[in-house]
């Protein structure tokens, strides 16, 4: 007996034939993975052990759904439906129940570019994960969503549930690790000594900034560069910075 037949038998009804509509969805559009015979009771283990076995069933969920938001951008993501389709059968197999026990929503109105108003909901949900032995542990997840109608709350709760399943289940994406790509930064261009002159001669430049300029010139090995100072004479820029710095600091560098 497959998962569909097991669920139907538990509900006291007959499973619809392949291709027939069940609650508005074609039965052939969703196939649960074969996780064994669910007529046998799950092994009575602690909630943590049962959850770890669920994690063992759900090895990866790829980012196969595509969001195309126009100006908002385009990206791949894993929606709540993918998470539920993966975790639902595994939880039923191992006798795990995930139930929200506390919902803490916050609301605010936000303006859209078109001049409209959306209702934004940010929600913190506490979930209780029960094992087949009846014990449980609690965990939390947050979600955020906005909507022009009255759907921001269920949307935010769906985001929280997806976050819970993916984070508590430590589900990898099968994407390549971003840290696997190495790159080298291009060297920053060196600021020529002559470009510091205006800042050095500016009476509003502090003694602290002059010390920083001296350090920058030293790190780029330009202290000996000859420049035309404020009285029209050639002077090494390092000496010029020290001289003006002493004048600004009242004779103390």
Say which CATH number the domain at 61 has. 3.30.390
> Are 30 and 50 in the same domain?
no
pLDDT of residue 252: 46
> Are 164 and 239 in the same domain?
no
> Are 95 and 211 in the same domain?
no
> Are 100 and 120 in the same domain?
yes
CA 129 vs CA 32, 85, 101, 154, 215: distances in Å: 22, 18, 10, 20, 59
> Are 99 and 156 in the same domain?
yes
Residues 112 and 202: their CA atoms lie apart, in Å, by 46
By the 8 A CB rule, do 128 and 73 touch? no
In a domain, 242, yes or no: yes
pLDDT of residue 61: 87
pTM of the model: 0.55
In a domain, 93, yes or no: yes
By the 8 A CB rule, do 162 and 145 touch? no
Which of 143, 173, 203 is where one domain is finished?
A: 173
> Are 102 and 157 in the same domain?
yes
Q: Which domain holds residue 143?
A: 44-173
CA 230 to the chain's CA centroid: 54
> Are 124 and 53 in the same domain?
yes
Which of 173, 202, 229 is where one domain is finished?
A: 173
CA 208 vs CA 39, 199, 205, 237, 242: distances in Å: 78, 12, 8, 17, 11
CA 7 vs CA 12, 121, 134: distances in Å: 9, 34, 21
> Are 166 and 51 in the same domain?
yes
In a domain, 165, yes or no: yes
By the 8 A CB rule, do 75 and 111 touch? no
In a domain, 118, yes or no: yes
195-198: long-range contacts at Cβ-Cβ below 8 A with a sequence spacing of 24 or more? 196/237, 196/241, 197/227, 197/228, 197/237
pLDDT of residue 24: 35
> Are 27 and 94 in the same domain?
no
In a domain, 120, yes or no: yes
In a domain, 187, yes or no: no
By the 8 A CB rule, do 51 and 96 touch? yes
In a domain, 134, yes or no: yes
> Are 146 and 169 in the same domain?
yes
Question: Per residue of the chain (253 residues), what is the pLDDT tens digit?
Answer: 444 444 334 334 444 444 333 333 333 445 555 555 544 567 899 999 999 999 999 988 887 777 676 655 666 778 899 999 999 999 999 999 999 999 999 999 988 877 888 999 999 999 999 999 999 999 999 999 999 888 999 999 999 999 999 999 988 876 555 455 555 656 668 889 999 999 899 988 888 888 889 988 998 899 999 999 888 899 999 999 999 988 877 654 4
> Are 72 and 119 in the same domain?
yes
pLDDT of residue 4: 44
In a domain, 180, yes or no: no
Number of domains, the chain: 3
Which of 173, 205, 235 is where one domain is finished?
A: 173
Residues 224 and 238: their CA atoms lie apart, in Å, by 6
> Are 230 and 128 in the same domain?
no
């Amino acid at each position: 007996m497959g998962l569909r037949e097991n669920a139907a038998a538990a509900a006291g009804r007959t499973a619809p034939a392949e291709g027939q509509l069940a609650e508005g969805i074609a039965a052939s559009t969703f196939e649960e993975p074969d996780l064994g015979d669910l007529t046998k009771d799950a092994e009575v283990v602690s909630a943590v052990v049962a959850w770890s076995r669920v994690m063992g069933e759900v090895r990866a969920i790829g980012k196969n759904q595509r969001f195309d938001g126009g100006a908002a951008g385009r990206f791949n993501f894993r929606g709540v439906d993918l998470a539920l389709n993966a975790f639902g059968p595994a939880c039923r197999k191992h006798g795990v129940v995930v139930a929200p026990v506390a919902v803490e929503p916050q609301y605010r109105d936000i303006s859209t570019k078109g001049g409209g108003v959306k209702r934004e909901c940010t929600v913190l949900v506490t979930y209780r994960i029960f094992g087949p032995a009846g014990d449980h542990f609690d965990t939390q997840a947050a979600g955020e969503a906005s909507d022009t109608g009255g759907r921001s709350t269920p949307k935010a709760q769906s985001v929280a549930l997806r976050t819970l399943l993916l984070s508590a289940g430590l589900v990898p994406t099968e994407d390549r690790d971003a840290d696997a790509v190495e790159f080298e930064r291009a060297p920053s261009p060196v600021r020529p000594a002559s470009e510091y002159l205006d800042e050095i001669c500016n009476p509003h430049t502090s003694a602290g900034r002059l010390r920083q300029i001296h350090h920058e010139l030293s790190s780029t090995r330009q202290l000996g560069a000859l420049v035309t100072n404020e009285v029209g004479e050639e002077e090494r820029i390092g000496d010029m910075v020290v001289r003006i710095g002493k004048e600004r600091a009242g004779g103390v560098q």
